[in-house]
A and B are shown apart, each in its own frame.
Chain A
């Protein structure tokens, strides 16, 4: 039973355009959501997070949107750069992030020059 789903295994965009990565969840107890970026042979790197009391959080080129009624979140990267090419994992947690993270299977983003 997958509680966090990333339905697109891969995404390819042109440099300078917007990348939109999507994530759906089923557990209504989740109240803290995170995006991690992962390069091969490295651990996941924390990118951005959002608490369930918000619907948007922005950090530079990265914005995360949360739609609680739809149990859906998305990560927007604008403008996309070739260095953004990596696997992006969506993760969710209950108890404000103090509990274990439940991860999606990841979306491989390729940004073409």
Chain B
């Protein structure tokens, strides 16, 4: 389809393991964002990529979290040594790099840490 694609849709893992989440943005969208939503909460910003500029990492909660993006394509979010408080839905969004253009979201990865 033409929307933002995320994989896996669900991930269950044991505490202490590393996980990698993937996002395929809408073709032509130069901006890519990661958010997470904990149960009963709003979406929290994690990291933002815009073209070849340095990413805005101001929302990453700890150094266990990192993300990469190659050019204007796929992005991966990696969480090392997962903790139970990392359990959340991780959402990716992309947008055109123009004023007043909305971000479009994927369906997210539901991460459960046992």
Contacts and interface: CB of A to CB of B under 8 A. Distances in A.
A25 interface: no
Interface residues of A, number: 25
Interface of A: 4, 32, 34, 36, 41-46, 49, 51, 89, 91, 96-106
Given A98-B50, A102-B45, 16 more contacts: A32-B100, A36-B105, A42-B107, A43-B93, A44-B43, A46-B102, A49-B102, A91-B43, A96-B99, A97-B99, A98-B97, A100-B33, A101-B43, A101-B103, A103-B43, A103-B44
A44 B91 contact: yes
Given A41-B107, A43-B4, A102-B45, A97 B91 contact: no
13 contacts: A43-B105, A43-B108, A44-B43, A46-B105, A49-B100, A96-B100, A97-B100, A98-B95, A98-B98, A101-B43, A104-B42, A105-B41, A105-B42
Nearest to B105: A43
Interface of B: 4, 6, 31, 33, 35, 40-45, 48, 50, 56, 59, 91, 93, 95, 97-108, 110
A69 B6 CA distance: 39
Given A96-B99, A98-B99, A46 B45 contact: no
Contacts of A105: 40-42
Contacts of B6: 43
Contacts, number: 68
Nearest to A101: B103
Closest 10 CB pairs of A and B: A96-B99, A43-B105, A103-B42, A100-B45, A105-B42, A103-B43, A46-B102, A43-B107, A44-B105, A43-B106
B100 A46 contact: no
Nearest to B34: A100
Given A44-B105, A46-B104, A101 B99 contact: no
Nearest to A44: B105
A43 B31 contact: no
A3 to B, nearest CB: 11
